[in-house]
């Protein structure tokens, strides 16, 4: 699991980074909003941990910008802003959770694990989709009625994004923006072809098309 950390307090940034690395997370540390924005558009992340009062672009503005551009990475605010209005603003900007400073690292661990559970972020291993369908994150293999189907790297990336967003309608644009940097993203036609291939494996009813909106995995 890859996490972006935005925290301008150098000492706290180091403490959080070291703690998360001890939990076997891959952490990219940033110290101002612009640096964080560039990292998010240049790399793929599973979770954002954002302070609010940071130089350049504050955490609220940063997340609002990401959500306007269909960047749907799960996000937790870590901030000293304590009022109910601050929390309301944070959740309205698109946050999944909100941690008030000061906090115990054990609380951060629990919040991160909860986001992983709620947003279906899997690190590795086998998961069960139905009684007959399983997916192995390690081997990038879908097993249907004991028959194995190996996915290409890009097919797996598309499929795993669907799994992270189960029962949520997602567009081709969102899939592209959340999985590749701009100049490396496959075309919309190519992504549709990957979805077509996945349907051949899973059965046509597993991935539903909502005309003019996007797709949803059941």
Name, in order, each residue with C-beta under 8 angstroms of 55's C-beta and a sequence gap of 6 or more.
8, 31, 32, 33
pLDDT over 90 (residue 218):
no
**H-helix or E-strand spanning residue 18:** helix 10-22
Tell which residue, 153, 174, 156, has the closest CA to residue 216: 174
In tens, the pLDDT along 1-26 reads: 899 999 999 999 999 999 999 999 99
Higher pLDDT, 31 or 180: 31
Give the model's pLDDT for residue 184: 76
Alpha-carbon separation of residue 5 from 29, 45, 129 (angstroms): 5, 10, 31
In tens, the pLDDT along 175-196 reads: 988 888 766 778 889 999 999 9
Average pLDDT over residues 124-142: 86
Give the model's pLDDT for residue 44: 80
SS3 207: strand
Which class does domain 126-217 fall in? mainly alpha
Which class does domain 2-118 fall in? alpha beta
Q: Where are the domains of the chain?
A: 2-118, 126-217
Distance CA 29, CA 10 (A): 10
pTM listed for this prediction: 0.72
In tens, the pLDDT along 81-94 reads: 989 999 999 999 99
Give whichever of 39-43, 109-113, 214-218 has the largest mean pLDDT: 109-113
In tens, the pLDDT along 95-132 reads: 999 999 999 999 999 999 999 888 777 656 788 888 88
pLDDT over 70 (residue 197):
yes
Average pLDDT over residues 47-71: 94
In tens, the pLDDT along 145-154 reads: 989 999 998 8
Name, in order, each residue with C-beta under 8 angstroms of 32's C-beta and a sequence gap of 6 or more.
6, 8, 54, 55, 56, 57
DSSP bridge partners of 183: none
Give the model's pLDDT for residue 158: 92
Give the model's pLDDT for residue 152: 92
């Amino acid at each position: 699991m890859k996490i972006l950390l935005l925290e301008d307090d150098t000492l706290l940034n180091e403490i959080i980074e070291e703690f998360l690395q001890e939990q076997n997370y891959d952490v990219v540390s940033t110290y101002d909003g612009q640096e964080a924005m560039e990292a998010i558009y240049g790399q793929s992340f599973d979770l954002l941990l954002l302070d609010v009062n940071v130089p350049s672009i504050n955490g609220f503005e940063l997340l609002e910008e990401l959500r306007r551009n269909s960047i749907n990475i799960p996000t937790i605010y870590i901030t000293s802003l304590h009022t109910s209005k601050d929390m309301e603003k944070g959740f309205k900007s698109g946050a999944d959770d909100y941690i008030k400073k000061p906090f115990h690292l054990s609380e951060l661990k629990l919040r991160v694990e909860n986001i992983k559970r709620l947003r279906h972020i899997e690190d590795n291993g086998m998961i069960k989709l139905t009684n007959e369908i399983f997916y192995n994150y390690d081997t990038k293999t879908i097993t249907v009625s004991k028959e194995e189907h190996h996915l290409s790297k890009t097919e797996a990336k598309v499929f795993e994004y669907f799994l992270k967003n189960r029962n949520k309608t997602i567009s081709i644009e969102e899939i592209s923006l959340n999985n590749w940097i701009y100049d490396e993203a496959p075309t919309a036609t190519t992504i549709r072809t990957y979805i077509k291939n996945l349907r051949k494996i899973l059965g046509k009813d597993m991935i539903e098309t909502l005309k003019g909106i996007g797709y949803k995995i059941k």
